[in-house]
A = this chain, B = another copy of it.
Amino acid sequence: MAILFQNVTAVLMDDAGTVLKGAFVAVEGDKILSVGAQRPEGAFDEVVDGAGKVLMPGLVNAHTHVPMTMMRGYGDGHDLHDWLQNFIFPVEDKWDARAIRAAAALGLCEMIASGTTCLADMYMFCDEICQEVAAAGINANIARGVTAFAEGVSFDTHPSCVETRALADRWHGHNGGQIKIDACLHGEYTSFASPAVWDGLAEYAREKGLGMHVHISETRSEHEDCVGRWGMTPVQVLEKHGVWDVRAIAAHCVWTTPDDWAILAEHGVSAVHNPCSNLKLGSGIAPVIGLRKAGVNVALGTDGVSSNNTTDLFEDMKIAAMLQNGAQQDPLALLPMDALRMATVNGARALGRNTGRIAPGCDADLILVDFGRLNLIPCHDVVSNLVYAAHGCDVVMNMCRGKVIYRNGDFLTIDIERVKREVADYALPLLFG
């Protein structure tokens, strides 16, 4: 299958920040074949006219929990302890495979419709999530959060570790890399009773060539309790156990210190900023400027819907761009192009993927944004409009690995009506009935 986008404004996300007007972008199979100002040679199965539209790399949501879409707004307005103990955890106890699949499909649809082509998920029932990801056609790094609440937990026998290995054996590298499995330590605060699990998980990731996904210093108490236990921050204590020796995603990093940033930079660990979640839950404002200056790759995530409460990454991108300016009282603290890189190329690096740019050989993960929408008129600056003025609902096409999976409101790989029925008739009564 070969597809040509013509007469489009292409945001390449190269180092120069090129925005190419009247561009031709050719896709063959699952890769971008060429990009340029001239029509390329060759025959195409489909030609998409992009007049009035912007073609850009699909967004990378580098930290989320897709099935939590089912808890949208559930328990909002209660304090964190009450919210977790009396709303979230009791519901999570009721999941079954069918409900998870409905929830995952619903969450993926929201992401696809708002321009995400790639995500890093951390949850449970991951085999079911992989099945929905595989069917939807979106790219995903899937991770089973490993926890160890008791002493003496072993990497060999704990269910979350057993599941991780089964998951990697079954799904890692699926469909040419559409699905990757990351090793995943849920967090220091949910596993400190058995640090041997950290060693086992880190060793496993190194041996299997997997990435690592960890919650880090999201809340002040999480961070400070760790310092109290070990005399070291979460970043520091996990470094001693080899957790950062593979490509890794450190989600949140709100309370990380300059010493932490040096460690993350040295190991090439990516920090994932989740501005909506951090603000809404009162976690604080992550030191994005400090992380970036220290040389840390900073990507962007929505976190789960229950703490956001959407997965429209355009919204997080705008808030990320504005928030640092406001917090630093500097209108140039984070420029629109910085935020756009966080949501594309930086996310690709965090997930270990050849995406996030429009260049020959990259995965053909592309979205079209309709610049005829009122909120995008006039257009003095394409990047500024994308970051500050576009909404997810302005996305009119989502292509993952060369395949169009969403176009003008229609899902081409998912039966959305079936998903809605499963949510309404099965998942909601099971979880909340």
B-binding residues in A (CB < 8 A): 70-80, 83, 106, 109-110, 113-114, 220, 276, 278-285, 305, 308-312, 315, 318-319, 321-323, 325-333, 335-336, 374-381, 384-385, 388-389, 391-394, 416, 420, 423-424, 428, 432
Contacts and interface: CB of A to CB of B under 8 A. Distances in A.
Contact of A393 (B310, B389, B391): B391
Contacts of A318: 276, 315
The 8 A-B pairs of least Cβ separation, nearest first, read A279-B326, A73-B384, A279-B322, A282-B331, A309-B388, A393-B393, A76-B384, A74-B380
Contact of A385 (B72, B329, B423): B72
Contacts of A281: 325, 331
14 contacts: A71-B380, A75-B380, A76-B381, A76-B384, A77-B335, A110-B374, A279-B322, A279-B323, A315-B315, A315-B318, A319-B322, A374-B416, A377-B420, A378-B424
Given A77-B332, A332-B79, A374-B109, A279 B384 contact: no
Given A319-B319, A388-B310, A389-B309, A72 B378 contact: yes
Given A106-B377, A280-B326, A281-B331, 13 more contacts: A72-B376, A73-B389, A76-B336, A76-B381, A77-B384, A106-B374, A282-B333, A284-B329, A310-B375, A315-B315, A380-B432, A391-B391, A393-B393
A283 B377 contact: no
B384 A309 contact: yes
A111 B336 CA distance: 23
Contacts of A220: 329
Contacts of A381: 73-74, 76-77
Contacts of A333: 282
B331 A110 contact: no
Nearest to A336: B76
A410 to B, nearest CB: 13
Contacts of A70: 378
A216 B315 CA distance: 28
A69 to B, nearest CB: 8
Contacts of A79: 331-332
Contacts of A420: 377
A374 B107 CA distance: 8
Contacts of A379: 72-73
Contact of A285 (B283, B327, B336, B423): B327
Contacts of A428: 378
Given A77-B384, A331-B80, A423 B378 contact: yes
Contacts of A280: 321-322, 325-326, 331, 388
Nearest to A393: B393
A183 to B, nearest CB: 30
Given A377-B106, A388-B73, A276 B308 contact: no
